[in-house]
Amino acid sequence: MTATLPVVTERHSPHYDDRPHAETVSLLVIHNISLPAGEFAKVPQHSYVDALFMGKLDCTAHPSFAGLAGVRVSAHCVIWRDGSIFQYVPFAKRAWHAGVSNFAGRERCNDFSIGIELEGTDNLPYTDQQYKSLINLTLMIMQLYPAITPERIAGHCDIAPGRKTDPGAAFDWMRYRDAIKSALNKPI
């Protein structure tokens, strides 16, 4: 398996904690986010999404933010529309991205997962740059955490059905999974 290591901008969210003792990271969860819904950042570090993950969102800035007052949420990484990647939480730590969740009979997916947000919505296509960055980031994560296999990559909708719908119908799972499988099958 070969992956082009992505360039990552480190941001330091206050919204994380330690994983349970001796927990094996074994799940990758794909999400989407935009604030307000359907609006995308021109400058990611000055965006509402960044402010949310940094614990600095002004919940009076838009009517749709009222329900976010007091919410403490984070993801390990966000992949912006231009393909750039911000890392908010170290992979070894527990980000607060999954909420009430279940994968393969295990609850509390935050305990054993890595969460990646794509800037987007359920119904708008993601960019080629986002797929490229997501594929490279996934391959890097799989090298770091070999318990994450293609079968242990899920959407937020898969681990919280009925509560969450992301990454949505616009996410091309076949494109993503085929690229991962192709990279895994390449000789070193």
- 127 contact partners, CB below 8 Å, separation of at least 6: 81, 82, 83
- 165 contact partners, CB below 8 Å, separation of at least 6: 122, 156, 157
Report, in angstroms and rounded to the nearest whole number, the Rg of the chain calculated over CA atoms. Answer: 16
- 98 contact partners, CB below 8 Å, separation of at least 6: 29, 108, 109, 110, 113, 115, 156, 159, 160
Q: Is 117 a catalytic residue?
A: yes
- Let me know: does 141 contact 134? Beta carbons within 8 Å: no
Q: Of 23, 39, 117, 151, which residue is the catalytic one?
A: 117
- Let me know: does 111 contact 126? Beta carbons within 8 Å: no
For residue 45, report the phi and psi dihedrals to the nearest 5 degrees.
Answer: -70, -5
The catalytic site residues sit at: 117
